[in-house]
């Protein structure tokens, strides 16, 4: 499940795929974030910010189906990547090959393209896993996204159509394994209690998945005739729901630079690709720093730090100007 920013929704509209996604998407009109002391909260409202919605919650399967529908040919596994001064050549598992001026690595955290281009990456294990499942709600969610910081774990309930919610619960790996193994009724009861019955009793409406959480940062986003986008170049903790948004922003910027390049300019020209890398460096670094800071701040059980972070939530909630700045940043 993904929380797409309005800016990236506009990008999907321009690609002509949003109409296939929107029937199973839900707009987020408000967000409510709870600290770990039971009292600290911060709320964001689309109405108060003067926007139609803060985000859209989209199912992974629907998004992938819509994006893959526009491709030509069949999916193949890459076996080799060779780069020369004139071209990049990809050899596939069926023995066929494809030559191109530019290869875009949008192939995830274990990117074949990144490794083949000898781009180093720093990795760190959060020692957490995300437990993901959908639930039916006893009370209407009112298109409000809910999140609870729990002194390390982070629980999010994201609105879906038909008064359902999608849960993303980031937990230490051993706790995640225990929660994911619970019978459906026991899982629903545990999430109901963990969320303070904010949506009444919950009932499980999907299978349960777990995803190990790791941080990754490629040292470069480009190499000769190669550009990385999305998880191939950077993976962040899901506590802010910005991983896919960062990736789509990569694609938007790269597409803009390629579309506006000088007539006759080779799309794989390393100097051209460096424009993309420079444009993305600051936004990626800034988001990574914010998320890493939040993870460190909310991952400690120190009482002094706990009081500080909860006071910070309450203070930010009382500063409309700061809240609007945060909203505008998240909507890009």
Per-residue pLDDT, 43: 84
Q: Identify whether residues 143 and 291 lie together within a single domain.
A: no
- pLDDT tens string 271-293: 999 999 999 999 999 888 877 77
The total of other beta-carbon atoms located within 10 Å of residue 285's CB is: 12
| Position 321 in a domain | no
Q: Identify whether residues 111 and 138 lie together within a single domain.
A: no
177: domain CATH number? Answer: 3.30.9.10
Q: How confident is the model at residue 259 (pLDDT cuts 50, 70, 90)?
A: very high
Per-residue pLDDT, 60: 87
Helix (H, G, I), strand (E, B) or coil at 307: helix
Beta strand pairing call for 144-149 and 30-34:
parallel
Q: Identify whether residues 226 and 247 lie together within a single domain.
A: yes
Residue 170 has pLDDT above 80, yes or no: yes
| Position 278 in a domain | yes
291 bridge partner residues: none
- pLDDT tens string 1-36: 788 999 999 999 999 999 989 888 999 999 998 877
| Domain limit, last residue, from 199, 216, 233 | 216
What predicted TM-score, i.e. pTM, was given to this entire model?
0.86
- pLDDT tens string 201-230: 999 999 999 999 999 999 999 999 999 999
Q: Element (H or E) spanning 321, and its range?
A: helix 320-330
Q: Identify whether residues 201 and 275 lie together within a single domain.
A: no
Percent of the chain at pLDDT exceeding 90:
63
Q: Identify whether residues 112 and 247 lie together within a single domain.
A: yes
pLDDT, mean of residues 45-74: 83
| Position 225 in a domain | yes
Q: Identify whether residues 147 and 203 lie together within a single domain.
A: yes
Q: Which long-range contacts (CB under 8 A, 24 or more apart) does 250-253 make?
A: 250/221, 250/280, 251/11, 251/106, 252/7, 252/8, 252/11, 253/279, 253/280
| Domain limit, last residue, from 216, 250, 271 | 216
Residue 109 has pLDDT above 90, yes or no: yes
Task: Give the total number of structural domains in the chain.
Answer: 2
Work out the widest C-alpha separation in the chain, in whole angstroms. Answer: 62
Q: How far apart are CA 291 and CA 202, in angstroms?
A: 29
Range of the domain at 285: 102-120+219-298
Helix (H, G, I), strand (E, B) or coil at 252: helix
The total of other beta-carbon atoms located within 10 Å of residue 27's CB is: 17
Q: Identify whether residues 114 and 260 lie together within a single domain.
A: yes
Q: Identify whether residues 116 and 240 lie together within a single domain.
A: yes
Q: Identify whether residues 226 and 113 lie together within a single domain.
A: yes
Q: Identify whether residues 204 and 244 lie together within a single domain.
A: no
Q: Identify whether residues 141 and 114 lie together within a single domain.
A: no
Helix (H, G, I), strand (E, B) or coil at 292: helix
Helix (H, G, I), strand (E, B) or coil at 103: strand
| Domain limit, last residue, from 166, 182, 216 | 216
Per-residue pLDDT, 323: 53
Q: How far apart are CA 103 and CA 185, in angstroms?
A: 47
Hey, what's the torsion of the CAs at 123, 125, 128, 131, to 10 degrees? 40
Q: Identify whether residues 265 and 135 lie together within a single domain.
A: no
Q: How far apart are CA 102 and CA 83, in angstroms?
A: 10
| Position 272 in a domain | yes
pLDDT, mean of residues 88-101: 92
């Amino acid at each position: 499940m993904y929380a797409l920013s309005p800016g990236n929704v506009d990008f999907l509209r321009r690609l002509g795929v949003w109409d296939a996604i929107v029937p199973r998407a839900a707009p987020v009109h408000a967000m409510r974030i709870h600290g770990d002391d039971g009292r600290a909260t911060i709320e964001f409202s689309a109405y108060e910010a003067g926007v139609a919605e803060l985000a859209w919650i989209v199912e992974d399967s629907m998004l992938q189906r819509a994006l893959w529908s526009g491709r030509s040919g069949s999916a193949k596994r890459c076996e080799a990547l060779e780069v020369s001064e004139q071209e990049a050549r990809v050899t596939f598992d069926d023995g066929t090959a494809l030559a191109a001026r530019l290869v875009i690595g949008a192939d995830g955290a274990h990117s074949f393209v990144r490794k083949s281009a000898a781009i180093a990456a720093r990795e760190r294990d959060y020692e957490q896993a995300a437990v993901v499942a959908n639930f039916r709600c006893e009370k209407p969610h009112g298109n409000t996204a809910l999140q609870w910081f729990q002194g390390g774990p982070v629980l999010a309930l994201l609105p879906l159509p038909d008064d359902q919610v999608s849960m993303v619960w980031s937990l230490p790996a051993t706790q995640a394994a225990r929660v994911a193994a619970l019978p459906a009724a026991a899982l629903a009861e545990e999430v109901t209690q963990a969320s303070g019955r904010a949506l009444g009793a919950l009932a499980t409406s999907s299978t349960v998945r777990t995803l190990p959480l790791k941080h990754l940062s490629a040292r470069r986003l480009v190499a000769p005739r190669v550009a990385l986008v999305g998880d191939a170049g950077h993976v962040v903790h899901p506590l802010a729901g910005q991983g896919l948004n960062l990736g789509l922003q990569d694609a938007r910027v790269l597409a803009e630079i390629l579309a506006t390049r000088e007539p006759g300019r080779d799309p794989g020209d390393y100097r051209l690709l460096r424009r993309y890398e420079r444009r993305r460096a600051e936004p990626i670094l800034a988001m990574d720093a914010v998320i890493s800071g939040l993870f460190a701040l909310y991952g400690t059980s120190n009482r002094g730090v706990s009081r500080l972070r909860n006071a910070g939530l309450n203070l930010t909630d009382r500063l409309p100007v700061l809240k609007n700045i945060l909203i505008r940043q998240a909507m890009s």
